[in-house]
Structure 1
Amino acid sequence: MPTRSITELTTLATDALVRAGAGRAMAESTARALVAAEAQHLSSHGLSRVPQYCSHLASGRVDGKAVPRVQQTRPAALLVDAADGFAFPACELAVQEAIRSARACGAAFAGVTNSHHSGAAALQLAPVAAAGMVGLAFSNSPGAMPAWGGKRPLFGTNPIAAVFPRRDASPLVIDLSLSKVARGKLMVAKQEGRSIPEGWALDKDGNPTTDPAAGMEGMMLPAGGVKGAMLALVVELLCCALTGAAFGFEADSFFPAEGNRPRIGQAFLVVDPAALAGGEVFHARIETLVEAMLVDEDVRLPGSRREALADHAEAEGIAVPATLLAQLEALARA
């Protein structure tokens, strides 16, 4: 596979999005997030999304000229309106404002409404860790999983992420989808002509399938059975009931070019450790747990692999499938 630098790929993705109709600031924010995900080998949330996003701009599912704004605010709570634009600028604004509020109040909750696909949730929490704070991120997504006992896609795959800073080491980073795998993995498998393992998805008739296209038309299975389905319900309520955003079943799938404006939601909780037991106690407790985890030699701290991959990508570039690279180059020249 051809290799390109992070800078080259960010420029390429930005140009493709601008040519499709995105404003420069929106395109740059979105491209940075997608390339950062690609650098961590999160291909389902990486450059494979650029053609999809360009098609949404062309069909009007996304307003490329939208500018996010803080719509509602109290000292420790705020709501950001993404205004039917891509999610990344709105999430950046929400996280920035939540950090500012948490410094003053000890904790802050920021919601985002009228939004779009928000990619790898943990990446949005990097500024929180850099500020020495604890962060949680949630997003709903178009209906892809049934309620427990149900027979139709109602909840999204609804990722949850968390970040816990450490004093002299990289933060602990937890990031998971509430389906057995992220739905974007089916998209990548379909693009690459691969089958998927049985147990990831059901077809539209509720039968197990190894065909990614059939799985995309059907339903994802929740991680952990009923527990995953209940957590998906919690995320729907946090991201939509509190923000006024669309529930998963109200948003058309991201995968086709045509469809409604998804108007889904995201939510971020930021906590300053100094407001509770204090920074010294927090860091000491974190390290006590880390040391206990690492007694077992096969334990890997969450986030460490992604960090190593990102460092390698920074130094050596990112390998991109030739067909995808050609598609990005064509979109950037269109």
Structure 2
Amino acid sequence: MTTLSLSDAIAWVAAVFVRNGCRAECAQSVARALVAAEADGLKGHGLSRISTYLQMVRSGKIDGQAQPSARRPRPGVLAIDAAHGFAYPALDLAIAELPALATAQGIAAASIRRSNHCGETGLPCEALARKGLVALLFANTPGAMAPWGGRQPVFGTNPIAFAAPLQGREPAVVDLALSRVARGPIVAAKQRGETIPEGWALDADGNATTDPEKALRGSMIPLGDAKGAALAFMVEVLAACLPGANLAFEASSFLDGNGPPPATGQLLLAIDPAAFGHAGFGERMAALVGAIEQQPGARLPGTRRLANRARAGREGIAIAPEIEAAANA
């Protein structure tokens, strides 16, 4: 098994996508996102995605030459067209443009349409938090979850992410899917030929299943049951209806090269704490964090991710043989 430093892993992944027809800037953006997710321990959004991404690029489901573009329909709104390319360059554009808009307006939003899988959703929020902003990201994904009481997927796993700056330390980051588990671990279990725990998903007939193949053809169980399904509805409105993207049940799969581009959407919000008429945001955040961390066994959201990242920075990232084989196919 090959082990690479984070910088070498980014260069290796970028080279794979350039060889497969992606423009260099796009390939770098994809590589940074995949390696960051791998380093953070979110392997379902990491290097395991190389194979399916390449399938989509080779079939034309993702345009590796696409250049995202942005309009300003209102002063605080950035409307981005990902142009059926990867989501990551569109998110990079949003991260570059939103801070100035949020500083001027107090709050700003970037909507992204004609997009694709956006990986570790906490990363764009974290990038904005490093610039002193509070950030939220909503993303819709291809149909994977039925409305509560139904059987046919209408919603995706529809992740939500949030980040807030902390004085003198890494931002606090929340990153979660609205299914009980993200779809990535089920895909990974299928690739390894393993079963999944009962309670993760239902088959196409609405029965509990431990077979990842049947789970991927059926429906994910929402986090918090009916409450999770309601939140998935909310995300569908924010990430698809507002940006003008495909709804989850209209989108093709992120997991193969079949069909048209999925054309899903994202909504990224940036909030300037200085715009709220007081200078106490940092102190309030410190008080909140202190109340959590003073309790034995309690931890701030994202702590495990930071520990994984630090370890990967020291030890590098292992490239599994099957991933290396897929990259070189």
- TM-score category of the 2 structures, normalised to the smaller one: over 0.9
Q: Deviations over 1:125-166 (max 9, x none)?
A: 222111111000110000000112222011010000000101
Measure the CA separation in 2 of the matches of 1:272 and 1:200.
38
Written as runs of structure 1 = structure 2, the 5 A alignment for 1:27-46 is: 27-46=27-46
Report the equivalent of 1:97: 97
The answer to whether the Cα contact below 8 Å between 2:151 and 2:204 also exists between their aligned partners in 1 is: no
Residue 244 of structure 1 and its aligned partner are, at CA, apart by 0.7
Gap change, CA 1:72 and 1:150, over 3 Å in 2: farther
Tell me the CA shift for residue 277 of structure 1.
4.2
Q: 1 CA distance for matches of 2:218 and 2:33?
A: 28
Q: Which moved more, 1:216-225 or 1:1-10?
A: 1-10
Contact 1:87 1:115 in 2 (8 A): yes
Corresponding residue for residue 288 of structure 1: 287
Q: Distance in 1 between matches of 2:5 and 2:188?
A: 22
What per-residue deviation string (whole Å, max 9, x for no partner) do you get for residues 92-139 of structure 1? Answer: 111222212001111101100000000010011222111111000110
- Secondary structure at the aligned position of 1:171 is classed as strand
Letter of the structure 2 residue corresponding to residue 133 of structure 1 = L
Output aligned runs, 1:171-186, within 5 Å. Answer: 171-186=171-186
**Contact 1:86 / 1:116 at 8 angstroms: preserved in 2?**
yes
* Cα shift readout 1:304-325 (whole Å, capped 9, x = no counterpart): 2111211221121012322223
One-letter amino acid of the counterpart of residue 252, structure 1: S
| Deviation at residue 2 of structure 1 after TM alignment | 3.7
Deviations 1:283-331 (A, max 9, x none): 1111111111122210011112111211221121012322223332x14
Residue 151 of structure 2 contacts residue 219 of structure 2 at CA under 8 Å; is this kept in 1? no
Match of 1:25 in 2: 25
TM-score (ref. length: structure 1): 0.96
Does the aligned pair in 2 maintain the 1:251–1:263 contact within 8 Å? yes
* Residues paired across the two proteins, number: 329
The within-5 A match list for 1:308-323 is 308-323=307-322
Q: Structure 2: give runs of 5+ residues left out of the alignment.
A: none
CA distance in structure 1 between the aligned counterparts of 2:316 and 2:73, rounded to whole angstroms: 41
Partner Cα separation in structure 1 for residue 170 and residue 27 of structure 2: 29
Contact 1:79 1:94 (8 Å CA) reproduced = no
Letter paired with 2:97 = E
Percent sequence identity over aligned pairs: 46
Q: TM-score, normalised by structure 2?
A: 0.97
Secondary structure, counterpart of 1:97 in structure 2 = helix
Question: In the TM superposition, what whole-angstrom CA distance separates every residue of 1:162-197 from its partner, at most 9, and x where no partner exists?
Answer: 001011121111000000011011111111122110
Match of 1:164 in 2: 164
2:153 is matched with which residue?
153
RMSD of aligned C-alpha atoms? 1.2
